[in-house]
Structure 1
Amino acid sequence: MQEDILIPLIVFSSIFGVVYVYLTTRNKERLALIEKGADASLFNTGKKNGIGSIILNLALLAIGIGIGVLVGAALEQAGMDDDVSFPASIFIFGGLGLVTSFFVNRKLEKE
């Protein structure tokens, strides 16, 4: 009975701990660079992913998963074991959706 409470508590506290350590370490590194006289524009050199890129990635992943479910159902109707057909097709088509989103995002960045 206590596992029902203990497992989510451990998972969320672990996620919080990792995020907290990451953010505090990043802040300390930035403060140290600023104290040594580094320019603040140094922190803005990374590529910014907009919300459109994230939405595109999630949309193509969802489309891939949906196609994977349909193909898994078709394979099950064709006689394949459903314990194999559904996970395999979901992962294959979900991965294809992510690969497609990578190439689409790369093409959009060039424009």
Structure 2
Amino acid sequence: MEEILIPISFFLAVFGVIYLFLSTRNKERLALIEKGADASIFAMGRQHTAPIWKVIILNLALLLMSIGVGIFVSQILVSIGVDEDIAMPGTIFLMAGVGLFIGFKMTQNLDKE
């Protein structure tokens, strides 16, 4: 019976956080509108951003390519004589991080265009 409480608690916590975020945002917006603030302030920061699907595809592609390069480089390191338990996860995580960093920089360039 205890095994079912963990997923239920997790989903309730996620639902609670999302509900709190949305309801608080709605109350803030209503309060600003009642005070006569311009509604255009809600769209700030969204005018010059790249479409989200481009960002997701770019980052996912770079992540998968860098993981592949990490596996390739780790196999080269293993053939040289580095311990496989050290070379495989270290190189894969290192290359995945490099790929995500490159994706972050490329996303910034998408926003500038």
Q: TM-score, normalised by structure 1?
A: 0.79
1:81 aligns with 2:83: yes
Larger RCO, structure (CA 8 Å, separation 6 or more): 2
How many corresponding residue pairs? 110
The one-letter amino acid paired with 2:72 is: L
Residue 49 of structure 1 and its aligned partner are, at CA, apart by 4.1
Q: How far apart, CA to CA, are the structure 2 residues paired with 1:81 and 1:12?
A: 41
- Where in structure 2 are the equivalents of 1:65-80 lying within 5 Å? 65-80=67-82
Deviant stretches of 4+, over 4 Å: none
The worse-fitting range, judged by mean Cα deviation, of 16-25 and 37-46 is 16-25
Q: TM-score, normalised by structure 2?
A: 0.78
What stretches of structure 1 of length at least 5 have no aligned partner? none
Residue 35 of structure 1 and its aligned partner are, at CA, apart by 0.9
Q: How far apart, CA to CA, are the structure 1 residues paired with 2:88 and 2:105?
A: 26
What stretches of structure 2 of length at least 5 have no aligned partner? none
- Where in structure 2 are the equivalents of 1:17-36 lying within 5 Å? 17-36=16-35
Q: How far apart, CA to CA, are the structure 1 residues paired with 2:6 and 2:84?
A: 30
1:6 is matched with which residue?
5
Residue 52 of structure 1 and its aligned partner are, at CA, apart by 0.9
Report the RMSD for the aligned CA atoms in angstroms. 2.2
